[in-house]
Structure formats: C-alpha cells, structure tokens
C-alpha cells in the first residue's frame, strides 16, 4: 500500500502524503522513496500542492523525498492538513510557502534508529544519527532563521506545536482554515509504537472499533511473536547447554 498519491495535472500537480512514510518495519507494508521518485519525475507542472497528514516514518526515505522535491523545478506550496510529525515535519518545509491548518499539529524530535551488534556498531549508529540530525537542523534553521543551538532543545524535548506556535517559531508562513482531524486518531498507535513520548491527548477523532480484518492481523502478529519468543527461548537453552558442556570439558580435574 502506498503512503502517498501524486495527481499529475498540466498546470498544477497535487501530492498527498497521508500515511506513515516509507516501508513499515513491523508489517513490511508501504512504499520506498524509489517509487516516489519514479512518479515525481513524471510531474511537469510548474506548481505543486503538497498535502501532508503523516506521523513520519523511515528517516532516510523522508530525507530523500525532501531532496527530490527540493530539486524539482516547480514552485511548491505545502499544506499541513493534520499532523506533520517526525521526518514529515522536515518534508513539510520543502514548500516555498507552508500553510498549516489552524487545528493541525507540527512535531519535531531527534532521529532514532535500531542496531544489533557490538559496541563499535552501536557507536557507528550514534554517529549516523548525529549526521542525520545535522541534516534536519539545516532544514529547520533554513526555514525559520533560527540558530542550530536554538533548535536542538526543541528536538531534545520532542516539541509539539499548534499552528500559532509554529507560525511564531517561523516554521510555517500562514495559518489556513480548520480541517477535519478525525483521521489523525489512527496515527496514535503508530506514534506510540515509534516511541513518541509526548503525544497530545487532544487529537480529535472518535476511536474506531477494530474491524474483523484488524483483529485477524493482530492475532497473526501475536502468533508470530509467540513463535519468535519460543524460538528465542530454545536458542538460549541450547546456548546454555552448550556452555555447560564446554565448561565441563575444560574444567580442571
């Protein structure tokens, strides 16, 4: 399933980023930036309206998308229709003009990542994340005119802004009309899973009961997790048994 839609029209193209960006680590769903690039390259319009309602997603896909849009010759107007969080808050700033709905939300935080390996691998990942943050800082400071030292605390704190606050901070240019925020409620589990620590409790929208398909997906995920846990336990037991055998073989008489 694609997290974006591109409508290529003669005079003005429309791009809708209305979901989690990139491939979903947990489900394998979503589409990479490579597919986005292929469709964007076919856009010949002189103007692009970029609509965003996204909790963020894969940071490297997000940076790639920002760069692809930045390199496009069209004049871009960004419309933050609901949530522009995490890497989506970076993509939003590609617009020559950024308009945020009066009841929308804008969130910025430090990039995060996962790594499995030794201490050197961990340090290497930390270095990569620092470089990613440096790239993000260039975008934030370029739009707002703020110094990096003024933006770093906002990233450290996981800062959520309403339209008035985002305008005052210089991240948007204009406040638009009020939008229906009901669709944003579905992002709450995604943001919680991603480790967001300060999700506002005033995100509009009624909670929907899970559909039979949702319940089936949850059951399948639970079953796969149970299998992984069982396999992990068996691996640990085998490892302990192997260590005990080795200890017995090399133990002094």
pLDDT tens for each residue of 102-119: 999 999 999 887 788 899
The answer to whether the pTM exceeds 0.75 is no
Active-site choice (86, 89, 124, 144):
86
H/E element holding 49?
strand 47-54
pLDDT of 251 above 80: no
Q: What is the model's pLDDT at position 23?
A: 72
Q: Which of 60, 22, 56 is nearest to 2 (CA)?
A: 22
Residue 79 banded pLDDT, cuts 50, 70, 90: very high
pLDDT of 47 above 80: yes
86 catalytically annotated:
yes
Return the SS3 of 124.
helix
41 catalytically annotated:
no
Higher-confidence residue: 3 or 108? 108
Rounded CA-CA distance 130/148 in Å is: 13
Rounded CA-CA distance 18/185 in Å is: 13
């Amino acid at each position: 399933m694609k997290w974006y839609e591109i409508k290529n029209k003669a005079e003005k193209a429309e791009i809708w980023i209305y979901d989690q960006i990139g491939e979903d680590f947990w489900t394998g769903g979503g589409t990479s930036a490579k597919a986005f690039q292929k469709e964007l390259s076919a856009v010949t319009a002189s103007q692009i309206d970029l609509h965003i309602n996204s909790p963020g997603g894969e940071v490297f896909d997000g940076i790639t998308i920002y760069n692809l849009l930045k390199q496009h010759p069209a004049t871009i107007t960004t419309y933050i229709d609901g949530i522009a969080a995490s890497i989506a808050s970076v993509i939003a700033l590609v617009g020559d003009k950024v308009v945020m709905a009066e009841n929308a939300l804008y969130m910025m935080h430090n990039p995060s990542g996962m790594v499995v390996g030794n201490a050197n691998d961990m340090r290497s990942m930390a270095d990569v994340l620092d470089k990613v943050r440096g790239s993000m800082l260039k975008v934030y400071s370029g739009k707002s005119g703020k110094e990096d030292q003024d933006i770093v605390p906002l990233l450290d704190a996981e800062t959520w802004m309403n339209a008035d606050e985002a305008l005052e901070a210089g991240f948007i240019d204009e406040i638009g009309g009020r939008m229906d925020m009901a669709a944003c409620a579905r992002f709450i589990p995604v943001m919680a899973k991603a480790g967001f620590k300060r999700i506002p409790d005033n995100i509009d929208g009624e909670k929907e009961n899970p559909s039979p398909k949702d319940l089936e997906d949850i059951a399948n995920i639970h079953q796969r997790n149970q299998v992984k846990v069982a396999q992990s336990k068996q691996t640990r037991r085998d490892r302990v048994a192997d260590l005990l055998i080795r200890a017995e073989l090399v133990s002094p008489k």
